[in-house]
């Protein structure tokens, strides 16, 4: 009799320990990626200025431009394009406001982003009252400070400038610039709308939103559900501006209790264990 009771209790314990099946992915859900998976989104009105220790009598230069990121790059590997326009303002022996075309990219990994910007300019100036022209470029490199977690990233830059006017002369030179870029890196979301057919084939769509709706991308989703493991492996194909973004989701439980998400978004790579993140239906 004692042996029967022992076997009965053992069977009950095993039944209690079995987790509920998540089942195949069907319907809509949203993953909120936070913590170590946060993505830096550079978007800022950048003000450039010469360092405070610039020698007296040097050509005065100041500039500003706005960077607006896409979710992935158009042509640069492991980066995204920042394309916008700005203005370089001259004072002193030469005056004028020269338009700038600004391009650049973000690269690196989550927690350690890097931003490179190039501001190319060309246009009319006035040198000692004589109409002339100038051209050149400014190279910027921005990275988190040693303490990290700052709302801004300091930037250092170097300018190459050539300009002059008839009867006055022509000269080329260089110098340093300082600036910073807003670094509001934070949580982002992955919204899923999936269906699984009788053959356990998973299809649907997804949307990634970084920071706000201004930086978003859409994806087609395909994959397979494995009833034995109660998980799915999903492939994401970016559409339009997200064509070069990268996402993959393996060993994904439809209730969000498990899964490994690998990504390259905003030029930055990362890996997140979904079992440590919240999921809302």
As its CATH architecture, domain 24-39+186-280 has Beta Barrel (2.40)
- Stretch among 3-7, 19-23, 103-107 having the lowest mean pLDDT: 3-7
Helix (H) or strand (E) holding 16: helix 2-17
Total Cβ atoms within 10 A of residue 92: 10
Q: Which of 17-31, 196-210, 213-227 has the lowest mean pLDDT?
A: 17-31
Give which of 136, 140, 55 is closest to 99, Cα–Cα. Answer: 136
Residue with the larger pLDDT of the pair 200 and 80: 200
C-beta separation of 236 from 252 below 8 A? no
pLDDT value, residue 95? 82
pLDDT value, residue 146:
60
Domain with CATH 2.40.128 in the chain: 24-39+186-280, 44-51+59-182
Q: Measured between alpha carbons, how far is 241 from 74 in angstroms, rounded to an integer? A: 7
Q: What is the pLDDT of residue 8?
A: 43
pTM of the model: 0.72
164-200 pLDDT, tens digit per residue, is: 889 888 888 888 877 777 766 678 889 999 999 999 9
Tokens for 165? 């006017």
97-132 pLDDT tens trace: 888 887 778 888 887 888 888 888 898 988 888 999
Q: How confident is the model at residue 57 (pLDDT cuts 50, 70, 90)?
A: very low
CA distance 131 to 153: 38
**Distance of CA 33 to CAs 142, 220, 223, Å?**
24, 19, 21
Q: Which residue has the tokens 């326009």?
A: 85
How many residues would you count in the chain? 281
Q: Which tokens is 244 given?
A: 């070069």
| Domain 44-51+59-182, CATH | 2.40.128
Which of 144-153, 169-178, 265-274 comes out lowest in average pLDDT? 144-153
Choose between 87 and 32: higher pLDDT: 32
Q: Which two tokens stand for residue 98?
A: 């020269």
For tokens 């890996």, the residue is: 271
Torsion of CA 240, 244, 245, 250, to 10 degrees: 110
Q: Which residues pair with 220 in a beta bridge?
A: 205, 237
């Amino acid at each position: 009799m004692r042996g029967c009771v022992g076997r009965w209790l053992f069977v009950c314990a095993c039944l209690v320990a079995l987790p509920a099946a998540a089942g195949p992915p069907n319907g809509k859900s949203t993953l909120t990626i936070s913590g170590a998976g946060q993505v830096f989104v550079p978007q800022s009105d950048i003000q450039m200025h010469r360092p405070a220790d610039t020698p007296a009598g040097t050509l005065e230069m100041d500039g500003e431009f706005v960077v607006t990121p896409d979710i992935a790059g158009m042509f640069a590997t492991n980066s995204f394009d920042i394309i916008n326009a700005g203005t370089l303002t001259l004072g002193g022996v030469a005056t004028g406001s020269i338009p700038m075309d600004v391009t650049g990219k973000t690269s690196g990994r989550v927690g350690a982003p890097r931003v490179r910007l190039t501001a190319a300019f060309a246009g009319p100036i006035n040198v000692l009252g004589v109409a002339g022209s100038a051209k050149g470029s400014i190279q910027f490199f921005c990275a988190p400070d040693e303490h990290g977690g700052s709302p801004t990233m300091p930037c250092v830059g170097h300018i190459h400038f050539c300009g002059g006017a008839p009867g006055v002369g022509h000269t080329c030179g260089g110098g340093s610039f300082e600036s910073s870029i807003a670094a509001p890196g934070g949580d982002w979301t992955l919204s899923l709308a999936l269906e699984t057919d009788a053959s356990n084939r998973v299809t649907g769509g997804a949307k990634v939103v970084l920071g706000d709706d201004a930086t978003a991308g859409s994806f087609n989703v395909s994959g397979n559900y494995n009833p034995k493991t109660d998980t799915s492996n999903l492939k994401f194909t970016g559409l339009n501006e997200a064509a070069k973004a990268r996402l993959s989701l393996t060993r994904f439980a439809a209730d969000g209790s498990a899964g490994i998400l690998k990504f390259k978004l905003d030029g930055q790579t990362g890996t997140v264990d979904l079992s440590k993140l919240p999921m809302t239906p």
